[in-house]
Structure 1
């Protein structure tokens, strides 16, 4: 298995952050309020509702509902004030954290998601919004793949992609324990490119060119 020490994790994150800044990506370092030596990476993204919902879920809309929507659009002239309100409420905000797992000695992806109203998504809603490519696997292994738990740094409920297989996956990608700052950065990028897309977090191809 391929594990990281906390120092290696921080080194990899700092190298990753340099590339993020070069690409104009929005990752940044954060620290615990109680202990500034405990750090994690953070990024916030905003999605339209249909972007945050899996294709499989979108397909469930019936033909009748689609026809009704079209009919309403044809017979009811849009009110600009209503459009503004609709647009403002049609977004879901995701906040992603890359956190070190002490128990597994690997990076772990934590995140929270909430509606424009400020209401946090339920675990069921999060499961329903998994990328279609991964939804069948998550559906079969819900409680061992993605659950809600306490954030190890903030102490608040967050959703977590379980890290139990990370070390084995990274070993299969030919990472070994002879790390350099550059290889630690590649470790973080490779890991994130596998876990991030599951919950809507895509990794720019630019990270692999730097």
Structure 2
């Protein structure tokens, strides 16, 4: 588990490093006087999907969100909207995300499970990745369920020292195929 204060400190450090790396994360600082919410991060990424003819599984190739010209048909792209938010109930970070096709149609839960199948498999996928209401935006988003986050993070923290948030990000982002420059983030964390 991580306290709200530690999460806020780490989210600010992560955001500062993101700015140095031009990794396009946005920091949201709510007005605590009108809405008592912890700061959170968001990032929007366009991903190229390659559909394998035999299995129809998705294989993403990440493309910067600010791309000006797209040569291949837009139907092969999805937009990912990712949010890292503090769970006051579980006392851990949570990843909320939405994926949509270029025509604006949101991927269905079955399609997201197919996209993440190689990392989560079929075992108890409902308790791992599900759809829930975004705690700040009050809209339906997919999320990685936080019920086991504290337990697996305790195991990681027993073996290594470092940033709770960065270790958590390095575990969860590969699951949903969100490519971030982890090595560069770790280098900056070691310098701070």
TM-score category, normalised to shorter length: 0.7 to 0.9
Q: Is the 8 A contact 1:6 1:100 kept in 2?
A: yes
Secondary structure in 1 matching 2:180: coil
Instruction: Tell me, in whole angstroms, the C-alpha distance in 1 between the residues paired with 2:8 and 2:45.
Output: 23
- 1:89 deviates by 2.3
Instruction: Tell me, in whole angstroms, the C-alpha distance in 2 between the residues paired with 1:8 and 1:16.
Output: 12
Which of the two has greater helix per residue? 1
Task: Tell me the equivalent position of 1:201.
Answer: 178
Instruction: Tell me, in whole angstroms, the C-alpha distance in 2 between the residues paired with 1:131 and 1:201.
Output: 14
Q: Which range moves more in the overlay, 199-208 or 153-162?
A: 199-208
In the TM superposition, what whole-angstrom CA distance separates every residue of 1:89-135 from its partner, at most 9, and x where no partner exists? 22100011001111110001110010111011110111111162x14
Give the number of aligned pairs: 171
Q: Is the 8 A contact 2:2 2:164 kept in 1?
A: no
Instruction: Tell me, in whole angstroms, the C-alpha distance in 2 between the residues paired with 1:147 and 1:37.
Output: 23
Q: How does 1:137-152 map to 2 (within 5 A)?
A: 139-152=122-135
Q: Is the 8 A contact 1:32 1:153 kept in 2?
A: no
Task: Tell me the equivalent position of 1:171.
Answer: 154
Task: Tell me the equivalent position of 1:104.
Answer: 90
Secondary structure in 2 matching 1:124: helix
Instruction: Tell me, in whole angstroms, the C-alpha distance in 1 between the residues paired with 2:37 and 2:55.
Output: 47
Task: Tell me the equivalent position of 2:27.
Answer: 29
- Alpha carbons of 1:32 and 1:151: their partners in 2 closer, same or farther (altered >3 Å)? farther
Instruction: Tell me, in whole angstroms, the C-alpha distance in 2 between the residues paired with 1:58 and 1:169.
Output: 36
- 1:88 deviates by 2.1
- Alpha carbons of 1:12 and 1:107: their partners in 2 closer, same or farther (altered >3 Å)? same
Runs of 4+ in 1 over 6 A off after TM superposition: none
Which of the two has greater strand per residue? 2
Q: Is the 8 A contact 2:79 2:99 kept in 1?
A: yes
Q: Which residue, out of 77, 80, 105, partners 1:94?
A: 80
Task: Give TM-score, length-normalised by structure 1.
Answer: 0.73
Instruction: Tell me, in whole angstroms, the C-alpha distance in 2 between the residues paired with 1:36 and 1:172.
Output: 31
Which structure has the bigger radius of gyration? 1
Q: Is the 8 A contact 2:8 2:38 kept in 1?
A: no
Root-mean-square deviation (Å): 2.4
Q: How does 1:9-158 map to 2 (within 5 A)?
A: 9-31=7-29, 35=35, 37-50=37-50, 59-60=54-55, 87-130=73-116, 132=118, 134-136=119-121, 139-158=122-141
